[in-house]
Amino acid sequence: MSARQAPPPLPSWATWWQRPFPDANTLLLHGRRPALVDSGFTGHAEETAAWAGERAGRVELVVNTHWHSDHVGGNALLQARGAGVAAGAPEAEAIARRDPGCCAAEYLDQPVAPYTVDVSLDDGQVLRLGDADWEVVRTPGHTPGHLALWQPDEGLLVVGDALSDYDVGWVNLALDGPGAAATALASLKRMADLAPRVVLPSHGPVPADPGAAFAAALRRAQRLVDDPAGAVWYGARRIFAFALMIRDGVPAGEVEPYLLARAWLTDAARLLGLAPEALAGELVTSMLGSGAVVLRDGRLRAAAPHTPVPAGSLRVPYPRAWPGPEPR
């Protein structure tokens, strides 16, 4: 066995923070326009803001790769402290009209503190972050509004949840339609064609070999296209593991009612041709069997390393109850 190969180095003006779940990895770009790419989970907003503040003094702009709760949770706090928020156009528009589907927060039962979007991003748009120009690359699939950020001089590509060193982003066939996996595959191909020197994924380590990471992700994405039921199962496992992480587990006796009350679970059951009760049972049994979840102290818990979340921080309204955008 050889030691893990070192990832390619980053320029001095970029600071990378690899974070355990439930926070997405965070990129800080130093310079005249200090910028943060993704802002972690709501329950860790203070920690995210403090980390960026210590290193950059202030954050002028937060750019979201997409609106899932582990990427936008610090938006509200950073915005209250003067930062702007930039996001892909479809998400920016939905956030502006306070669409109840924002962030899939209610659908996934993942709290997000209310925020607004100041800058709507389109494909090909060039954005100055720190002191460098970054190109917006629309990469729908994991979510319809998902985007990557490309810095051609240094060959840096921020890929969000589109891929990681070990996997590919899950796709939501119920919410985004049966074509979501093919859309994700096309986005991966587009990113691979950029031949980045450094791939910065939202979860896990920076891949030592970007080409190998793309090759693995493309194979995985093709399997999601070829096996829609497998794709539904993959999404269900990821969503449920995340729910357990942010709640410090769920009491064993409350797991089934929790699952049966979730829109994502009933949608997944419909796509799989199963009764929701059957899917809930199979999900728990299969995840216990694989070791992805464990029963400890009477609670079902996610096995993957994760940072505890203060329970009070989950008590934020779903987007349907978000206050209207403040005049800015």
By CB under 5 A, name the binding residues for Zn ion. 68, 161
Strand pairing report for 119-121 and 84-88: parallel
Block residue for tokens 């299969």: 286
Closest-CA residue to 267 (of 154, 104, 132): 104
Nearest distance, CB of residue 202 and Zn ion, angstroms: 7
> CA-based diameter of the chain, in Å?
58
Residue nearest to Zn ion (CB): 68
Measure the CA angle with vertex 108, ends 106 and 111; round to 5°: 60
Nearest distance, CB of residue 169 and Zn ion, angstroms: 6
Give the helix ranges, DSSP H, for 42-133. Answer: 45-56, 69-72, 75-80, 89-96, 105-108
Nearer to Zn ion, 68 or 306 (CB): 68
Nearer to Zn ion, 106 or 161 (CB): 161
Nearer to Zn ion, 162 or 287 (CB): 162
d(CA 203, CA 195): 20
Nearest distance, CB of residue 142 and Zn ion, angstroms: 6
Nearest distance, CB of residue 143 and Zn ion, angstroms: 6
Q: Which residues share a beta bridge with 42?
A: none
The 3-class secondary structure across 199-265, one letter per residue, is EEECCCCCCCCHHHHHHHHHHHHHHHHHCHHHHHHHHHHHHHHHHHHHCCCEEHHHHHHHHHCCHHH
- State the Cα torsion 196-146-42-118 to the nearest 10°: 100
Nearest distance, CB of residue 317 and Zn ion, angstroms: 21
Nearest distance, CB of residue 238 and Zn ion, angstroms: 9
Nearer to Zn ion, 68 or 220 (CB): 68
Strand pairing report for 198-201 and 35-37: unpaired
Nearest distance, CB of residue 65 and Zn ion, angstroms: 8
Closest-CA residue to 217 (of 200, 183, 239, 192): 192
d(CA 26, CA 48): 9
Query: What is the distance, to the nearest Å, from the Cα of residue 247 to the centroid of all Cα atoms in its chain?
Result: 18
Nearest distance, CB of residue 152 and Zn ion, angstroms: 25
Nearer to Zn ion, 30 or 306 (CB): 306
